[in-house]
Structure 1
């Protein structure tokens, strides 16, 4: 399990290293920028290699013998992946989204669900919009989400990261968002979540259709 988790996080480290230096609508990176990328990847690999030598933290749970951590993580990843795919591009318009609002509120919490809801529109139109305001949806295909847990020492507050990819129809390229999650593995719901804002979240060629 540990080796699998490390592979997942190594994938994340490469993705994040690339995403952090992408500049929207820019030309290919110059030699200095490429050197910076290589340096970031080397640093991330050092962290992962060090983690291989460090024992996993013990799981804090009263009914240790009856709790299946592997199954709980698998269920959580499935719920989060499906939930993010529905919240971003899974519904055709505001009316359909709001028909499923309670389901998404139960998983993500109403505040973060509202953040996801607004990402379906044009930012300038939705920035100050009310939680249930109607607007034109711009994401026509469900988002793709990759999720990994990096700390499950407290089952009620497990830490996870989601890398979410989607493509609004008003942009030429796909968009990547990083979501930090505090997740309750016992209750199977999000405690808190936050979007990590990339300075330029558009990735040239990130989607197959952009190549």
Structure 2
């Protein structure tokens, strides 16, 4: 299985890359996947060339192919003008329109203040919904004051667990439960999500089962 991490951080070191790495680590606790990080700052020139010419240079083409072939995706951006960065948007502007269809995507964002905490919901989630991705219920926003706080660590753990279980469901793999060490049976993703443990879990219930319960 392949887990692709897209980071739109501009600095080095970057809090955006740090959040991306922590989300990936949280997911890899529960699923055996090969991670690959795509740093968009290294592809900025290639992205601009593709937007102008319509043809991706080799490095960008490889990155786009990797995203399309991934079993799961983590996408993290810094906040600019209360939204995702232009570099982040430009990368997903040039991706094939069908590349993310049905693909589990975990959203993350970083910013200097908690006032931008809804950027994952009012900007990022609509973008990936438009691309027909399977956007996970939990998105993670990290403000400057959040680093080192238990709340951020808990959100990262929950989001990583969700991504691992969606990947496992899509690929037919089993995910070990960190509390009981029992494998979670693979389930179809064509169902409704219902919470079984508000702290750290959910299960995917087949649509037919949900419909039958409603008819009773």
Do these two structures clear the TM 0.5 threshold for a shared fold by scoring above it?
no
TM-score normalised over the length of structure 2: 0.25
Between Structure 1 and Structure 2, whose CA radius of gyration is higher? Answer: 1
Task: Specify which structure has the higher proportion of strand.
Answer: 2
TM-score normalised over the length of structure 1: 0.25
